[in-house]
Amino acid sequence: MILAAAPALLAHDVISTKLTWSREISRIVYKRCIQCHTGDVSFATYEDARPWAKAIKEEVLLRSMPPWGAVKGFGEFQNDRGLTQEEIDLIAQWVEGGAPEGDPNLLPERPAAAISKQPVRAGIPVNSPFTLARDMTVKAIRPTQSVASAKITAHKPDGTIEPLLWLYNYNLKFPQTFVYRLPLSLPKGTRIETTTPLAFELITQAPKPARQTKTYSPARAAGTAPTHDSSPGAEKSH
């Protein structure tokens, strides 16, 4: 997410915290933010990030950055980029304490480049409420509209309720495919419901590819003609 606020110059702020960029904050930034912030608004180094410190604090307190758009703990996702409450508190305290650099020797290794995203399969369009006509293994869920707040739940035939996703300030300008940590098995008759009308897609687990049997052709000496039957088992035992 590109911060719209103008950089704030903090060169004369009083240092009142032991938290530093080198030891704590860079580790959070490299894990959560550096994938997007390497261009005009770069957080690659302390010198790059420091002018944006106050804007960073404001954005993370609003949970606008990184732009994840979902509430933590309502569904488990392997690609969760949202900050934990501890990470938010550390960033806020660091900025309030003057945003010091610390010892550069404590810096972690900087990520070389953003990891390229893998293509995601097309999903099954859903407008809630929706009842599954067959058993389904759901790998991910992808909202197709912006929404202020919406909970998506799966009500199984046995009466149990599976939390699928809780969107909060979700903006389609920053589209997300929420990939579950473990695929969800939903039986036929499961009813998908949302707390507010919402369009989204369910990405089902890809079927396992059919096993391919490799053919084997025995090696033959140079200058010899191929036999009529070169399939496995064609050689006669003597």
CA neighbor of 141 nearest in space, from 110, 183, 111, 172: 183
Is pTM beyond 0.85 here? no
Q: Which residue has tokens 């799966």?
A: 154
Please list, in sequence order, all residues whose beta carbon lies within 8 angstroms of the beta carbon of residue 88, skipping any fewer than 6 positions away.
60, 61, 63
CA neighbor of 64 nearest in space, from 40, 36, 39: 36
Report whether CATH 3.40.309.10 matches the domain 124-204. no
Q: 102-128, pLDDT tens digit by residue?
A: 999 999 988 765 554 555 567 899 987
Per domain, the residue ranges of the chain are: 21-106, 124-204
Share of residues in the chain with pLDDT > 90 (%)? 52
Q: 195-211, pLDDT tens digit by residue?
A: 999 999 999 965 444 44
**Crossing angle between the packed helical segments 85-96 and 53-61, to the nearest 10 degrees:** 150
